[in-house]
Structure 1
Amino acid sequence: MLLALWPCLAVAEDKIEFQRSVLPILSSYCFPCHGPDAGKRKAKLRLDQRESAVGKARSGRRAIVPGDSLASELVRRITAEDEDDRMPPADQPLVMSPAQVSTLKKWIEQGGEYRKHWSFEPPKKAPLPALENSRRVVNDIDRFVFARLEYEGLMPAPEASRESLVRSVSFDLTGLPPTLEEVDAFLSDKSPKAYARMVDRFLGKPAYGEHLARHWLDLARYADTNGYQYDTERQQWVWRDWVIDAYNTNKSFDQFTIEQLAGDLLPDATDQQELATGFNRNHGITIEGGIIDEEYRTEYVMDRVVTTSEVWLGMTLACARCHDHKFDDLSQKEFYQVYAFFNQVPERGANGFSPKKRLASPLGAARQLELTLQLNRLKDELSKPMGIEGKLERWAKGLAGAPGGGWEVLTPREMKASGGSTLKRLKDNSVLAGGADPRKNVYDISTRTEATGITAVRLEALTHASLPGGGPGRHSNSNFVLSEFELTVISEKKPGHKEVVQFVRARADYSQAGYEVANAIDRTVAGNNGWAVDGPTRKKPATAIFVPVRPFGFKGGSRLSFRLRHEASFANHGIGRPRLSVSTDSPDLLQLKGVPADIRKIAAKATGSR
């Protein structure tokens, strides 16, 4: 852009450019008192408008006399020795530098021309600069590049090798390095159109749209989560696919614009044109409690106004939200005129996910074809004889010979919960919580084992379709807070012998920041202490391992009484589906998952005895 707008250096070298050199000075030092803000304007002088700046004041003087800096009141004031006359006033923190004063003087001597922002000026074709050496010029852009190099006294770098060229084009158009086949294809193509063909090949790749769309997604404030406190997941990726498809199908920019801003208002709008308007739903959405609904609905509208102005107008319209713009020619009234266009959506501020519509991805058909072909290929492979018996024996032998006994999944025998909750044992020996969901809840689960020398206990917080949001917790946001995890071991042969297990270490496959799994064994519930797993954004199971201070378990069998305490002040934060296991393996070698102990025992048996 700079090269394209840059006129011949020999002619333009000393010309003062208003937008680049003068406007920033006037905006910083003069506009606070002589700018667009009518409430703070002094002496009815506006230096942001040329008509006022060159016009006669009540004193008969002119702030700017084009072509005559000595007669200009502006110059007299910014160079005055008397503090009562000098501008900016002495009590202001900003002081113009000699260089800035010189710039204003030279600008006035050159006629004191005002210019609108370049984006409001019709583009003009710059004259081609003359070159001392034009041997390497291939197109007009080269002339501007080589002219600047000559001006700086620099020599152009040698022409890139064909290997470097194909690599640069690949990164520019797809964001990925070229494959060896793509490099070889370009190197072997000796025709004059080799470069154009190579570019077309990269433009035809799906990665082209994926790479270029990233920049538009950033401008459109795209995200896969809703922001604010909980930052919950959102299903907006289908609009992202629309943008990728628009690049890959070379949609014209006018249609690209119309469909995103008002695709749903087009006559007989298609699903894909409605999908395009997802641009306007990329703003953050809050699900926090206690907010003022209308306040956040208004914020969503403001977000659309600001984003649209920045993306398509290239202007910071947000400044005019509270006052007339201090820099651009925009009034506060005009901001709210634009606001009115977007203030017609029947949406809410809290949980503002409606209106919504489920639409197909424009990339779905191609992906479906790809998966169908892959599925057919796999079906063909599955139809061939495999000889599974030998592979099964090798797997069983390796499993039986592996060190350690693995995890023994415990069978719950007695279960109860406080506050009217129900606990139900499922076929996989997990425990599903249901019924009432009190603010605080304690689960007591009894089981037994023949194992001795137990070195670790595993707690799995599993998901279930009956749980809110399909996550592992009972709260409406799918989270849980396990305040404390406790275990008492009782001898089955001698019931009077029992031991309260002290856990010293814990690890998990996931812990929420500030709610690490170690909090569940620190013997305190103060300060909402406990283990949590980001239920609002992570709808997945979570697994923890607890290591005792020493191995436990009585000969002749042990009854294990587990207590899961959910006592944080956050209401209804119980685990929805716990499952318990024990192991006698070294805790440092144990995996969070691993093969169950009973499967290992079966694998150790002879083939005919399984």
Structure 2
Amino acid sequence: MFSRFTCLLLGLFIVCTQGPALCADQPNADGVEFFERKIRPLFAEHCFSCHSADAKTVHGSLLLDTATGLAAGGDSGETIDRENPLDSLLIESIHYDGGIQMPPKGKLDDQAIADIEHWVQLGAPFPASSETEADKRPNGEIDFAAGRQFWSFQPLRELPLPTVQNPSWARNRIDTFLLAKMEQQDLQPSPPAEPLTLVRRLYFDLTGLPPTPDQVKAFLEDDSPKAYERLVDELLDTPAYSEKWARWWLDMSRYTDRTASWLPKTTKAHLYRDWVIEAFQSDMPYDDFVRRQLATDFLDSTGPEDTPALGFLALSPAYWKELKLPCEIIRVIVADEWEERVDAVSRTFLGLTVACARCHDHKFDPISTEDYYAMAGIFASTRIAERPMIEAERFAPVQIAREKVGKLETELAKLKKAKPLPKEKIDQLTADIKQIKSSTPDFDTPMANALVEEATYVVRAGKTPQEGTRLEYRPGPRDLPAFIRGNPNRPGPIVPRQFLQVLSESPQPYQQGSGRLELADSILEEAAPLTARVLVNRIWLAHFGQGIVATPSNFGNQGERPSHPDLLEDLAGRFIKNGWSMKRLHREIVLSAAWQQSSMPEATREQKDPSNRWLSRMNRRRLSFEEWRDAMLYASDVLDSKIGGPSIELDSSANRRRTVYATINRRDMSSTLMVHDFPDPTQHSPQRVATTTALQALYSLNGPLLAEQASALVERFKTEQIDEDGPRIERLYQLLFGRAPTDHQKQLGLSFLGDPQSKEHSDRWLQYAQVLLASNEFIFID
């Protein structure tokens, strides 16, 4: 019996994998960025003197300064083993495991080796051309005036609508721009999606949840010409919308609920997540959204209740600092933290890889080393710390009371270990603690992960390196020197904190504390065209499954060029003009005829545009893990719709909440999330990449989630008093797919379930429900 079920489930899973491709091949821009940030500086420092075109003698006929040289290998054979990356000769050499030990002057440190291993596992991405933009620079200096001519750094242009042959198809400006490109490629739009497909797509796209059978029925029976538009507005106003799109943002902000116990506390990290949810619910203008996350503590218009907004920076990854080690080592660790913040801010808001300029001027973009340290100085002048969500005057007595309670609790813990147990003293201390807490107003006020204006300095704890390290936090900002080759122990000239030169005609040093508010203003004023283009493209990508720019966090030279540049200009310009409203942008996109197209393939379109670059059909999209899990809970009628609050472990049997509230542990990620393509919370994630793996199939077969929800579905039938198999099958199809089963599907189900009086019947129902939860039709939106 079970083998029959196994075959059926695996057969359905295989059907899922044999559908149309989910997306085009992913660009390797992120891998190239990792190479430029981590690997090229290592090679330049340790390898190029013997293995580059500029070497006096090329040792072993091996060149490591070009992609061609790396691929060719040297006298000892191929440098990279593509099939078994960690068995590569390069890896063996840097581990000093074989006859070849590189670099010969001494083994690299553990972090450098780990970076090279990671790069090799990524496929050893290397810029294809041996000549970078840096090689073209006269005297090696960046021409910022020329750099500003690059498309993404240009001011926004107001463009007229293009002329099209079939203007009646267009429902808004988006459609006209898309149709013009289709007609240039001799393509025609696909017909509209079926109403059932459309309503399911709309619910998932805006809320991350499926429509109920009643909601489907109401939409299909509403003949009003405004029915669809009215439904869009209703869904944009639901809490489910804000929860779905908050999770989208948290991917980019590398959100975590938990981190290692020896790192700064994140026990109230959920306050940032809840702040993001509320921001989407209220349609907070994007410019305000950015300012608050970088510098709400500088704004007169916000108060301490807005402090959780700083979680974007305050929840940044932190690295262990063993202060017994010499300060020269700790300085590198602290500098790495600053680099991570530069990377997260520049890629998230500007779509630029500024962190690639830590060790040298950016090889491809007009971003100098001075630009990098001008931004890094802002984060060197900011310390992560918890702050209360009430005014300082109100918190002062709370702080005193908490200090008293802390001392009493320490004393209480010691007494509880004493023998014999001093019960009277323990009872008295317990009563004292309770009295202080109850008599102190606001004692339980939450402490948000936030920032304070203090500069970080790494100094010796004593007179010699052997005496260890001390971290000093001093009031006021600091300007950093430009570290030579990114090494904080080799300081160069001091660089004032200011904005990127390519985005500012004459950048002025920041004067307001660390400069966080001025940075936010620069991003939203001087760089407004780029900032708007980046955000519009991100939202477009989320709706269509592909960006107008295919590299959403790289709008530089190594990024892809826009497929529809005029459309991107039009959307970005109107996004700013319309008050940076994200809900308005969502609304315009889903109201377009393009977004409402069918995703069904058609031979002519497939042949002319196999990757669907010109969007003459809708892209078929698979549910994210969060959407899949939430849809199961929703269909089983066990979803807890509570909004906000502390996280709960994903795999806990008590967890019936939306997956956005599942605990994310940066140090110990849930294996369930890792198997299902959840992004790494240690770094900015520009987009999800869907995979289909054997582990996912095994999870569908053996994981507790599907078994539990199959059981909950069957229990729902009992609650609804549906006892016969035929009506149960019909109800199950309505709950999961929004439609009735075909006669063949119903007969197939009845045949599988067998005799209702048999002993196996109850088990068969659980198996049948689990199969449908893992089916192609449930996992894919269209």
Shorter-chain-normalised TM-score: which range?
0.3 to 0.5
Q: Normalised by the size of structure 1, how large is the TM-score?
A: 0.38
Structure with a larger share of its residues in strand: 1
Q: Which of the pair has more CA radius of gyration?
A: 1
Structure with a larger share of its residues in helix: 2
Q: Which has the higher contact order (CA 8 A, sep 6+)?
A: 2
Q: Normalised by the size of structure 2, how large is the TM-score?
A: 0.30
